[in-house]
Each structure stands twice: as C-alpha cells, then as structure tokens.
Amino acid sequence: MKLLIVFERIPNNVIGEDKLLIEFAKYLSKHHEVYLLILSQLKFLNINESSIYFAKRVPPYFDIILLHHDSSFLSKIWRLRKLKVKASTIVGTIYFVDTYHPVSFLRSILGWFVLQAFMPMISFSRYVKSLLQRFIIKRVVFLPFIEIVLRKSKNTCSEVRKFSNKRMLNSVKICYIGSIDSERTNPSAIAKLLYVLSNNLGKNVELILVCRTGRITKRGSKTVIIIPRIKVKLIERTLSEYEKITLLSKCNIALFTAKRIRFLIPPYFLIEATGCNIPIYAPYIAPILRLEGLDNVFERIDELINYLTRSI
C-alpha cells in the first residue's frame, strides 16, 4: 500500500501532533510505502523505519492520502489536484476540539460536519471521537496508536533507568515540558501544589520547567529559589529524546495544570511520563487523560500525596 502524508509546513519534532504523525508514518513504513509531502516547499520525502530522505521518484497515485491539520483540509485537497496527485481515499486528522471559545468550537464542529460528506477523518483520541459523535459527526475513526507510543516510551524508559520513588528521600521533583503561558501552566494551581507538597511531605520541592524553544529569546537554564524549601529550575532549550526520558525518570510528578487542551490529546510528554511510571497531576483534565489510557492521573492533591507516601 502507498501512503502519502501531507503537511503544510516542515514537521517540528517539538510539537506533539507533528511528532505523533511522524511516529505513525514510521510505524506504517514497516509494511507499506510511505511518503511525506511538504506543500509550502513542494518537497516529497520518503519515510522508512530508520530515516527520512528526499524521494527520487514519486508515485503518481496513492492508496491513501492523510492530511495533517496544520492548514485547511479543503485547501490541501485543491492544491493536491493542481499537483496532479491522486488517491483512492483522502483522510483528515483531528487531534483536539477547542471547547473554550464558543465561536471557534461551533466553527470547527460545523466545518467537520460538512466535511464528513466528502472525506472520512481519523483521531488518535477516544475523547475527541466521543465528543464529535455527540454532534452527529460519524465519519471519524479512532486509531489506538497512542497505546503503541506508550509501549515504546516504557521500553525507552526501562533502557535509560527504571523509575523509583526512593529518589524522593531528599526532595520532590516536579516536571513540566511544553510552552509556558498563563493558560497552560496556570501559576495559581502550581503555587498551591508546591505549597501543599512542601508542608505535607516535609521535603524540599523542585519544579523543573522545560520551555519549548521558538517561544523565547534566550536559551540555557537557570534556577530560582522562591523560599528555602521550594526551588524552580527553568530550562530554555529543546531536549533530545534521551535527555527528556532521563529527566522524566528522575522526577516524581509530571505536571499539567491547563484547564483545556488546544493541541494533541493527550499531550505527548504525558504519554512519555506514563511510560516512565510517573504520576501525573492534572487538576482540570484528569478524567480525559484517564479515558485516553494514561495511568496514575490525579486531580486532587491529597490523592497525589497518598500515592507518593505509599510508594516510598
């Protein structure tokens, strides 16, 4: 089977949905012929399990064309016709549903409702599929690829270092990886967590924030001591896969205090945290993360403290 995955821009390994789709392409390339098209630069790439390289010959016809959501699906279809690229089936991807802004929500729902008359869509999220079905959007297929990514993360973490809460003898380390803004990092919820953990566990608390590069001007790392028992470390650079897994395996808690998800569901670094057997504190979206198959997800601090004390 020949498969073409269409991006508007160059895939960024830091962005969760880009990374997930590339992993999906590599997984399919074990048994199928997979190509990648970057529309903004009109570049065709050939993908196999171990590498990505420029295609010397591009098939004129594909069995399936998979459209990334980084631009309009209809725009991509029109441009593919101009390039005379044909396929028996064209499929769109849906990673999240923005339920925060009513206008954006209604626009997305109406767009997908109309679009299902022309093409099927896939989602890697159980939550997204169930939500769309409530609005009579039926042509959405759920692909349980997150389970494969989770299995891979567990294998990678076990190779780096097995997680053990014995590391909490001296301090509690909390980790967040991603963009830092008032919406996704929610300072009040983080401050409450740091204060309660410091008082109830009687240990030093260290918060490690790893910024997504491209959203900041400086790169490096710095540490700020708020009060004697609470320390915040800011890492302003992109971590390699090995560095990220090593960092997660040394931490005690993965943090996600956003009230909604506007990108990949579930966030990629939380999949990796689950693979490293790290409990997740997500006070606002814990039920969604549990629905996606992530383990040890807590929405209350007292439940998290009980889990940590039992695991020592």
Closest CA to 110 of 129, 122, 97, 100: 97
Give the pairing of strands 61-67 and 2-7.
parallel
Q: What is the pLDDT of residues 65-104, one digit of tens each?
A: 999 988 889 889 999 998 889 999 999 999 988 777 788 8
Rounded to whole angstroms, the Cα distance separating 268 from 161 reads: 20
DSSP for 17-51, please give it.
HHHHHHHHHHHHTTTSEEEEEETTTTEEEEE-SS-
215 pLDDT higher than 60? no
Q: What is the pLDDT of residues 222-238, one digit of tens each?
A: 665 556 788 888 888 88
DSSP for 251-270, please give it.
-SEEE---SS-SSSSS-HHH
How high does pLDDT run on average in the chain? 86
Kindly report the backbone phi and psi dihedral angles of residue 152, in degrees, each rounded to the nearest multiple of 5, phi listed first: -65, -40
186 pLDDT higher than 90? no
State the pLDDT at residue 214.
46
- What is the CATH code for 163-311? 3.40.50.2000
- For residue 163, name the pLDDT band (cuts at 50, 70, 90): very low
